Amino acid sequence: MEERLYWLALNKVPGVGPVLFRRLLDRWGTAKAVFEAPEEELRRIVGQRVARAIKEMEAETVGEEEGRRAQALGVEILTLRDRSYPSNLRHIYDPPPVLYLKGKLVPQDDLAVAVVGSRRCSPYGRGFARRLSKALASRGVTVISGMATGIDAEAHLGALEAGGRTVAVLGSGLDRVYPPQNRGLFERIARQGAVLSEFPLGEAPNRWNFPLRNRVISGLSLGVVVVEAPSRSGALITASLALEQGRSVFAVPGYAGAVTSRGTHRLIKEGAKLVEEPEDVLEELLPQYERVEPQKGDLSEEERVMVELLEQGPLHIDELSRRSSFDVQRISSLLLQMELKGLILQMPGKIFALSR
């Protein structure tokens, strides 16, 4: 438990982002050891300003206070070392070392699609985002978005109406709901899904937080659907990040000449997959979605282990190796054999799922 407190404190040090956090752990092994390291050694890795901030922080006190505040708010805190940390997100280049969670994550959330778009959207865009998200959620797909006004809010509402799962990712601390008018939506999502943030409690919704927030939205997802976006839009940043992370990118065509169509039409010209109906997304991410599940009696012992793990939801190859204790070479061969048999399918980012 003590080490966890030091993780919370290190996550609050100004200038220590996900990549630098990982470098510090790689160098000293634990967050506690980072705070105990000589300032001169810290300077060689993080520079004078950040090194001084680390040495001046009363780490244990800060970590304990953050933990108490989270508990009082009913917020759970996950670290990269927790088994319950989202599998899809764990395998991006710069996963958040700490996540704040309101609600509950379940294995099904690995089968997720992000639906994003402009805050200033048209009635057409609002309606399409809600219908698409409702259809995806009704088929067991978790809908991820950023809880902003406009397309994001409609995406969450569509999933909620279907009685399905939805996850919101904030660009502020979970005690600083933004935008404030979506407080009711925040509470609904927390009851029926989860709200996440990598930012410590009390963090304001600063504009530079949102590109960071967007990489978490795409990182949690197998693919990103952009419904409406002008030529300069946070949704286009999310799409770009998705491509870097090996995710699929989809775009919904809009009205020719409309400002909110310029970004999505550009994505389509650049190779994004055009979306007219939910099946356009499902067929790309789950090309054998309707396939009957394999009978366990027809499987080898190793295949049965894989099927039982994947019944909990899609998993990254590294996660399958860790949970099964099969080495990477053996599991790569096994997964290829199962894919050729049609038992499983490979999704973007070396994530595997049962064929349905």
Give every CB contact of residue 132 below 8 A, 6+ residues apart in sequence. Answer: 115, 155, 158, 225, 227, 252, 275, 278, 281
Of the chain, the percentage scoring pLDDT greater than 70 comes to: 95
Mean local confidence (pLDDT), 94-111: 94
CA distance 167 to 289: 22
Q: Which of 350, 340, 355 is nearest to 307 (CA)?
A: 355
Could you read off the pLDDT of 185-204 as tens digits, one per residue? 999 999 999 999 999 999 99
CA distance 64 to 77: 12
What 3-state DSSP class applies to 117? Answer: coil
pLDDT of residue 292: 41
Mean local confidence (pLDDT), 284-302: 61
Give every CB contact of residue 292 below 8 A, 6+ residues apart in sequence. Answer: none
pLDDT of residue 169: 98
- Asked whether residue 288 carries a pLDDT value surpassing 90, the answer given is no
Lowest mean pLDDT among 31-35, 179-183, 285-289: 285-289
Give every CB contact of residue 2 below 8 A, 6+ residues apart in sequence. Answer: 32, 60
Q: Considering only residues 188 and 344, tell me which one the structure prediction assigns the higher pLDDT.
A: 188
State the pTM of this model: 0.80
pLDDT band at 311 (very low <50, low <70, confident <90, very high): confident
Indicate if the alpha-carbon torsion angle 202, 206, 211, 214 is positive or negative. positive
Angle at which helix 2-11 crosses helix 18-28, to 10 degrees, equals 140
pLDDT of residue 55: 94
* Residue at 193: amino acid letter: G
pLDDT of residue 34: 95
Instruction: Find out whether 6 and 32 touch, Cβ atoms under 8 Å.
Output: yes
CA distance 235 to 218: 10
pLDDT band at 336 (very low <50, low <70, confident <90, very high): confident
289 by Cβ neighbours in 10 Å (0-12 / 13-18 / 19+) ranks as middle
Which residue is associated with the tokens 């206070």?
65
CA distance 184 to 99: 22
Between the alpha carbon of residue 230 and those of residues 67, 120, 227, 278, the distances in Å are 40, 9, 10, 23
Extents of the domains making up the chain:
2-69, 103-285, 296-354
Could you read off the pLDDT of 208-244 as tens digits, one per residue? 999 999 999 999 999 999 998 888 888 888 999 999 9
pLDDT band at 287 (very low <50, low <70, confident <90, very high): low
Is 1.10.150 the CATH number for 2-69? yes
pLDDT band at 88 (very low <50, low <70, confident <90, very high): very high
pLDDT of residue 68: 96
103-285 adopts what CATH topology? Rossmann fold (3.40.50)
Q: In this structure, which CATH number among 3.40.50.2000, 3.20.20.100, 1.10.10.10, 3.90.1150.10 belongs to the domain 296-354? A: 1.10.10.10
pLDDT of residue 275: 93
Could you read off the pLDDT of 32-67 as tens digits, one per residue? 999 999 999 999 999 999 999 999 999 999 999 999
Half-sphere exposure of 172 (CA within 13 A, CB side): 15
pLDDT of residue 1: 56
pLDDT of residue 289: 43
CA distance 190 to 148: 15
CB-based burial, 139-168: b 16+ in 10 Å, e otherwise = bebbbbbbbbebbbbbbbbbbbebebbbbb
Cis peptide leading into residue 179 (ω within 30°): yes
Average of per-residue pLDDT values in the chain: 89
